[in-house]
Structure 1
Amino acid sequence: MRRPKAEGRPAVSRLAFHLSTLALPLYAVAGLRLRARTHRFPPADGPVFGHALSADGEGDGKNRLRLLVLGDSSAAAVGIARQEDGLAPCVAAQLARRHRCGVDWRAAGFNSATTGMLRDHVVHNLEPAPYSHILISAGFNDLKNFHSGRRFRREFGGLIYALKARFPESRIYWSQVLAPDDVPALTPLVRTILRPRAVEIVRLGRCLCRERGVTAIPATKGLPRRAFCADGIHPSEEGFAGWAEHVAEHMNAD
């Protein structure tokens, strides 16, 4: 597999990434403590597919969009009560409003899913629907699981190839990994250790997206505490709504 081209200050980014590996024992202890005091929510209740209408009606079949949101627990609407308030339906509603058309949506999200798990166990099991747009919400579990840069390149790059092979007509977008400093539940130590790793994961992901025809959507920054649910990790209803509005700005419908 050809490596992504350099971007920004890759040497500095890679050095900080590798140095952070030395802190793995500290990170493991801090992570276990964090997990012990964090409530684990199930996915939200409700169907994982639906339809969003535009303000003046759903639009005709010719103009209808079909959205797949694929990813981790955030794509599964973990942390909130109703699936209809999750990322996929919120993005669909934003696209319907912006482009004045109906949007069929499907959420395929799973607790703790990494990009490799999505590549190996999810993509080939999805129904072969003619999705016009695919939004990937993944990478944070690769980050918190301390995956190496080489592993992330291989697995995220493979996920992109798998999606392009199965859905060749789809426009694919990646919502970049949220910065550790913007996740309230993370302790200062965990944030410090993960910070350079997040920078490198985002750099590698952006390079892969650019080379393989995927749009990388920057993460939102400076999120308020109310954008997260009670666990301080997953989005709240308000957080999903804001996230959806942000990513929809980058998703074309032409």
Structure 2
Amino acid sequence: MWLKTATLALIPALVIQGSRVQKNTIRLPEPSGERKGITGQGRPLSLLILGDSAAAGVGVEHQQDALLGAMIAELKHQYQLHWCLEAQSGNNTAQVIHQTQKLSNQKYDVVVTSVGVNDVTKLMSAQKWIKQQQQFYQLIQDKFQPELIIATGVPPMHLFPALPNPLAWLFGQYAQQMNQKLAQFVAQHDAMQWIEYDIQKYQSMNLEMAKDGFHPSKEIYKIWGKDVADRVLAWF
């Protein structure tokens, strides 16, 4: 309730700052590169990435430097990877669900997700958001029968360089509440794991975000991809 009250109180500032951020933030394209293929040697393992701009790799120029490429680089020596990326910049959870519904039913061993930032920018409540997540992950289970689902948390948006306060603070509060709900949901499912998008850790390593101040850089994608790969290697 307090967050809703704070949101209403900050509406004038949010309108002004939101307009400025939209006007001044660099618009980065999705990276080039294949989004489906087979790579590596070893036991077959199928991977599917679903989500928004971070899943799609915005912030780098080629998929080899994005989340997909980082995962492949870490796993290709242990597995023959059958990989697929289905993500689009700007998509919120409802749009990701819609795009996923259009995909063919197919078995994937691992599904990795990244979604939520575009729900935060619409000031969606955590209660409504987690209901959409429940629908999303049930859809994933029904369509792809994965052995493991790895859900990436919503980034701590109060640390995004592109966002001024109080807009950054407010987005950070929404993201925090969403992550609390997501962590609780994941903990209830044995075949799910949660990865925290830890900008403070990246900053402590002197790593910067992409030049738009909103998306991961090559170095951050590499750490994210290794984190996913470590979970996969431990699971299988």
TM-score (norm 1): 0.83
What SS does structure 1 have at the residue aligned with 2:99?
A: helix
CA 1:203–1:135 in structure 2 vs 1: closer, same or farther (change >3 Å)? same
Q: Which residue of 1 aligns with 2:59?
A: 79
User: How far is 1:139 from its partner?
Assistant: 1.0
**Structure 1 residues 246 and 28, CA, compared in 2 at 3 Å: closer, same or farther?**
farther
Within 1, Cα distance between the matches of 2:74 and 2:122? Answer: 32
What's 1:168 paired with?
Answer: 145
Residues 176 and 219 in structure 1, CA contact (< 8 A), matched pair in contact too: yes
Over the matched positions of the two proteins, sequence identity in percent amounts to 23
Please list the CA deviations of residues 226-251 of structure 1 after superposition, one character each: whole Å capped at 9, or x if unmatched: 44221011112222112211232333
What is the alpha-carbon root mean square deviation over aligned residues?
A: 2.0
Q: For the Cα contact (< 8 Å) 1:20–1:196, is it kept in 2? A: no
How do 1:227-238 and structure 2 match up within 5 A?
227-238=208-219
Asked if 2 retains the 8 angstrom alpha-carbon contact of 1:135 and 1:174, the reply is yes
Aligned equivalent of 1:20: 6
Q: Report the equivalent of 1:145.
A: 122
What is the aligned counterpart of 2:106 among 114, 129, 132? Answer: 129
Amino acid corresponding to residue 232 of structure 1 in structure 2: G
> Which residue does the alignment assign to 1:115?
93
- Number of the residue aligned with 2:45: 65
CA distance in structure 1 between the partners assigned to 2:39 and 2:12 by the alignment? 47
2:108 touches 2:145 (CA, 8 Å); kept in 1?
no
TM-score (norm 2): 0.88
- 1:157 maps to which residue? 134
Counterpart-to-counterpart distance in 2, 1:74 and 1:169: 21
8 A contact 2:158–2:170 mirrored in 1: no
Point out where structure 1 has 5 or more consecutive residues left out of the alignment.
1-14
Please list the CA deviations of residues 180-225 of structure 1 after superposition, one character each: whole Å capped at 9, or x if unmatched: 2332212132222122211111011112222344211222232237
From 215, 218, 223, give the equivalent of 2:196.
218
Q: Secondary structure of the equivalent of 1:231?
A: coil
Decide whether aligned partners of structure 1 residues 156 and 114 sit closer, same or farther in structure 2, where only a CA change above 3 A counts. same
Question: Following the alignment from structure 2 to structure 1, what is the Cα–Cα distance between the partners of residues 74 and 216?
Answer: 17
Measure how far apart 1:149 and its partner are: 2.3
Q: Which amino acid aligns with 1:34?
A: V
1:4 corresponds in structure 2 to none
Contact 2:59 2:215 in 1 (8 A): yes
When residues 25 and 162 of structure 1 are mapped into structure 2, their CA distance, relative to the original with a 3 A threshold, is farther
**Distance in 1 between the 2:68 and 2:207 partners?**
20
Name the counterpart of 2:82: 104
CA contact (8 A) 1:227 1:236 kept: yes
